[in-house]
Structure 1
């Protein structure tokens, strides 16, 4: 005969253990969900989404039965609000992608806590749901518009960035022009001062330079006296002897000094 009492004890122990584990798991999940909900949001309030929902659920003003019903918000306005919402979604998705790698590295090193990582993961899930909701709303207005709405929103965002930069440069144009005019004036004044200094110093400096140049005396004329002159007279006989047909024997040269 099977002893049911001895078998009931381990089964009861297993039941108590499983029940306690299930209770602990449920309490842990509830506490974790409460803690995650109490954490600060990663992004501020989605203003564009709130505006879109406000326009979408805006009720027309009440009219009498005889009057025609006032039209609700035009569809073009709703589409424009949805595009603005998609533009803000693109900005947030790009921010999450740029921060994810750095945040994961900091988490691995222990530089940040788990609360920050939980906030980031919750922001990612919220953005995934937001993107799906925008695609669904776009397809409700126009079929297959959900495939191109984010592309159009990206072009709008780039256009806004270019326009903002252009406005910044246009705002600095007057300031830069004023600065350049002042710089040109200062450079011109500097050049004029240098020219005036050169003109004022050129007169006395030229006179001083002329007076400082020494006057060289005239070179004395060379006179030759009769004593220094050497008269060389050639002997006719020697000249004849030098000719090929003349007799040999050289002639004598007579040297003399002239008298004064």
Structure 2
């Protein structure tokens, strides 16, 4: 059996209490400092204008001289909530695009912890924002929260398509002018090559005149039959 020093046991317990208290105090102070630093960091996104508009429409205050606040039609409130969901879709796309880049830069040491804390806080804020939008949509219309982000995604895709079409339409005149210049230059080069080919294949006028003069100067040989004697002379020789 081990001998227990009962006199030194209170001192040991007091040491453990002091050590645990010091660790707990240090961790609490560290967490408070981290929370204060993260609160002082600049937000990842700017102010959510669409959310502010929706909340202002939902909680309108009465005008001066009237006791009741003006009633906003449900269609306008739904449209404002839908525009809020569209803005959330844009921010979600930005977060998903920047997450891989931020994590890789953080592993390489190219960025500090402040940027990563800002990004994590933006992710948490977006999660809370999505839940809030779904709850608000279900409060306005039953089961609307299940399809509101699908409608917002379709609106975003349609907007991107329209912007792309506008960009293409803006470049139509310049592209048309470029193609006209290109076609004119191609035609010019083709006609130039055609003229050069014709010059190479055609016989020059000086060569034609030279050949004609050479043919005229050459003597023309006419072959004629020259018999040694005519039949009449043969007869005369025979008679003699």
Q: TM-score range by the shorter chain?
A: 0.7 to 0.9
Q: Does the aligned pair in 1 maintain the 2:42–2:118 contact within 8 Å?
A: yes
SS at match of 1:143: coil
Does the 8 Å CA contact 2:50/2:83 hold for their aligned counterparts? yes
Question: Taking structure 1 as the reference length, what is the TM-score of the superposition?
Answer: 0.70
Q: Which residues in structure 2 correspond to 1:105-254 (within 5 Å)? A: 105-180=104-179, 190=188, 207-215=205-213, 216-217=215-216, 219-227=220-228
Greater CA radius of gyration, 1 or 2? 1
Q: CA deviation at 1:210?
A: 4.0
Candidates 24, 33, 36, aligned match of 1:34: 36
Partner deviation per Cα, 1:203-238 (whole Å, 9 max, x = no partner): xx965454333331474211122149xxxxxxxxxx
Q: Distance in 2 between matches of 1:34 and 1:81?
A: 34
- Please state how far the C-alpha of 1:8 moved relative to its aligned partner: 2.4
42, 54, 71: which is aligned to 1:52? Answer: 54
Q: Distance in 1 between matches of 2:83 and 2:41?
A: 27
Corresponding residue of 2:73: 74
Bigger relative CO (Cα 8 Å, ≥ 6 apart): 2
How many residues are paired up? 219
Segments of 5+ residues of structure 1 without an aligned counterpart are 229-258
| Structure 2 residue 85 is the aligned partner of structure 1 residue 83 | no
Is this contact kept in 1: 2:61–2:69, CA < 8 A?
Answer: no
Q: Structure 1, residues 127-180: CA drift from partner, whole Å, max 9, x if none?
A: 111110110111010111011000000000011111112222222334444555
Residue 72 of structure 1 deviates from its aligned partner by: 2.2
